[in-house]
Structure 1
Amino acid sequence: MLFIKPTKIIYVLILPLIVVSGLVFANREIKNETSKKSSPKPLSAAERKAALKKWEASPDGINYKKWEASPAGKKVYAGAAKIRKHIKDYTNMEGVVTSLSLPPGSRLGFGVMVRINDDDYILAFGPEKSDTFFLNFNNEFQQLHSLKVNDKIIIRSHNVSYAPKYLYPIVSGDYIERDSKIIYKRAPRKGGC
Structure 2
Amino acid sequence: MSAVPPSNLTDLINRRTSVDKPELEALAAALWPKLERLAAHQLQGRSGLTLQASDLAQDAYIALMHEFPGRFNNREHFYALAARIVRNIVVDYLRRRSAEKRGGGLPFERLEKAENDVSASIDDSVDWIAVDAALSVLAQKHEAAAQVVELKFFAGLTNEQIAEAMDLSRATVIRHYRYARAWLIDHFGAEPAHDG
TM-score (norm 1): 0.24
Higher relative contact order (CA 8 A, sep 6+): 2
* Structure 1 or 2: more strand by fraction: 1
